[in-house]
């Protein structure tokens, strides 16, 4: 099967050659002698050749994962030409630097680069793209060493790129698992980003991107999405991101985005929102979080509907007295109302912000009173005579049941 996969990646042109690296031949020699469109087939072994550069269309394919060792000194492979494929190789031990972003694979000003089914261990940056477009990073495994932030780079790093695809990769032990900056119209799907020092996913100034069916688990601070518009996040899992400043998902200065059918489980904060506008939050599940939603007063015109809230310490918190967002048709496990006409919607409104939650928002040290009789009395009194919690932050149509499976609305979303 492995041989068949390699064969499928080799050129079909009658003019292209297959150059084998074995019996003392070096990868550098093969790259130099290869013509555009040729393939280089690398035999199993350990190759210590410093920094290699590819400037022309080529395919590099490994047999049984030959090892390219940077000896803790070098960037291993630099790509500056178009239409390059790199597959079946293992990259280990890049150099590190405080100023230069040294990577196992660095792509500069390229298009149609395919990085498929490779392994990366102890790389400063794993796969690094700059000023590139229409490329693919698929089915790679990137394992970094757990070092301090300034001694670790990102697993998959992209800067100023367009139409990129990142699919089915596993990333752990890096600073940020996946990092986007000025990246547009790109897709991140089916990746497993976990146990990274800072963020499982971190992107800024990146518009019209899609993030679907990824798992972000047990990362230092969770996932951060900043200064971006037109983001679509669908079917992802945000799990076990916990700590004093951790969250499942941080949204800062985000507009016109859709957060649909995601699962937020056992995070310190499920979603933290600041300066967000016109977002749609539909059919997400929040389970076992400290705070399910922390919506700052700077957020407006966002819609929360058909979401489910289960066993969270606080369902919603805010730092303002007025809410400019629309909350309706959500399921709240703390709802104690009734449905006399049996239409599936509660007959009395539900206020998801508790008085104690407001107190904790203003005085975090008061969290020590959690589960005390005083807290119970405060919240019961506030429900009867609301005076402190935001008057218009209310779900007037709370659902009596919640279907955790994907709804028709989700499957019809383009």
- The residue ranges of every structural domain in the chain are 76-411
How far apart are the C-alpha atoms of 126 and 240, rounded to whole Å?
24
User: Residue 205 CB: number of other CB atoms within 10 A?
Assistant: 15
Question: What is the pLDDT at residue 404?
Answer: 76
Sorted by sequence, the CB contacts under 8 Å of residue 330 that are 6+ apart come out as 304, 305, 306, 307, 308, 309, 395, 398, 399
Question: What is the pLDDT at residue 370?
Answer: 52
Class of domain 76-411: mainly beta
pLDDT digits (tens, 9 = 90+) for 238-259: 999 887 778 999 999 999 999 9
Please compute Rg for the chain using Cα positions.
Answer: 25
Residues 267, 245: contact at Cβ < 8 Å? no
Phi, psi of 128 (to 5 degrees): -130, 120
Sorted by sequence, the CB contacts under 8 Å of residue 382 that are 6+ apart come out as 354, 355, 388, 389
User: Residue 223 CB: number of other CB atoms within 10 A?
Assistant: 28
Per-residue tokens: 380:
């019961």
Question: What is the pLDDT at residue 52?
Answer: 97
The whole model's pTM is what? 0.88
How far apart are the C-alpha atoms of 272 and 283, rounded to whole Å?
17
How far apart are the C-alpha atoms of 371 and 324, rounded to whole Å?
30
Q: Per residue of the chain (414 residues), give pLDDT as tens.
A: 444 444 445 544 446 799 999 988 999 999 999 999 999 999 999 999 999 999 999 999 999 999 999 999 999 999 999 999 999 999 999 999 888 899 999 999 999 999 999 999 999 999 999 999 999 999 999 999 866 666 789 999 999 999 999 999 999 999 999 999 999 999 999 999 999 999 999 999 999 999 999 999 999 988 999 999 999 999 999 999 887 778 999 999 999 999 999 999 999 999 999 999 999 999 999 999 988 999 998 999 999 999 999 999 889 988 877 778 999 999 999 898 898 999 999 999 988 886 555 545 555 555 544 555 554 555 555 454 454 555 678 999 999 999 877 644 443 333
């Amino acid at each position: 099967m492995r041989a068949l996969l390699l064969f499928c990646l080799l050129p079909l042109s009658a003019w292209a050659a297959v150059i084998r690296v074995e019996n003392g031949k070096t990868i550098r020699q093969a790259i130099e002698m290869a013509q555009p469109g040729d393939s280089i087939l690398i035999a199993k072994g350990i190759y210590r050749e410093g920094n290699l550069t590819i400037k022309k269309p080529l395919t590099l394919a490994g047999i049984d994962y030959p090892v390219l060792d940077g000896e803790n000194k070098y960037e291993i492979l630099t790509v500056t030409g178009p239409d390059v494929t790199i597959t079946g190789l293992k990259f280990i031990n890049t150099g590190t630097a405080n100023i230069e972003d040294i990577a196992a694979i660095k792509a500069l000003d390229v298009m149609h680069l395919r990085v498929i089914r490779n392994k990366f261990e102890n790389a400063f940056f794993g796969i690094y793209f700059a000023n590139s477009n229409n490329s693919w990073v698929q089915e790679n495994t990137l394992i970094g060493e757990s070092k301090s932030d300034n001694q670790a780079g990102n697993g998959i790093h992209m800067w100023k790129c367009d139409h990129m695809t990142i699919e089915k990769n596993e990333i752990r032990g890096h600073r940020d698992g996946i990092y986007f900056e000025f990246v547009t119209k790109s897709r991140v799907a089916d990746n497993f980003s976990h146990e990274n020092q800072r963020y499982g996913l971190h992107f800024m100034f990146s518009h019209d991107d899609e993030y679907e069916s990824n798992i972000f688990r047990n990362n230092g601070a969770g996932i951060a999405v900043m200064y971006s518009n037109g983001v679509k996040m669908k079917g992802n899992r945000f799990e076990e991101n916990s700590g004093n400043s951790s969250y499942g998902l941080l949204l800062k200065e985000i507009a016109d985005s859709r957060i649909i059918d995601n699962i937020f489980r056992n995070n310190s904060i499920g979603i933290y929102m600041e300066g967000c506008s016109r977002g749609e939050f539909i059919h997400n599940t929040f389970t076992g979080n400290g705070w399910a939603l922390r919506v700052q007063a700077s957020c407006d015109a966002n819609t929360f509907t058909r979401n489910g809230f289960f066993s969270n310490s606080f369902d919603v918190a805010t730092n303002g007295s007025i809410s400019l967002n629309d909350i309706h048709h959500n399921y709240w496990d703390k709802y104690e109302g009734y449905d006399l006409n049996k239409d599936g919607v509660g007959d009395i409104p539900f206020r998801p912000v508790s008085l104690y939650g407001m107190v904790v928002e203003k005085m975090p040290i008061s969290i020590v009173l959690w589960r005390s009789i005083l807290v119970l009395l405060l919240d019961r009194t506030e429900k009867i005579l609301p005076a402190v919690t935001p008057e218009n932050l209310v779900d007037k149509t709370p659902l009596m049941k919640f279907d955790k499976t994907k709804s028709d609305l989700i499957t019809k979303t383009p």
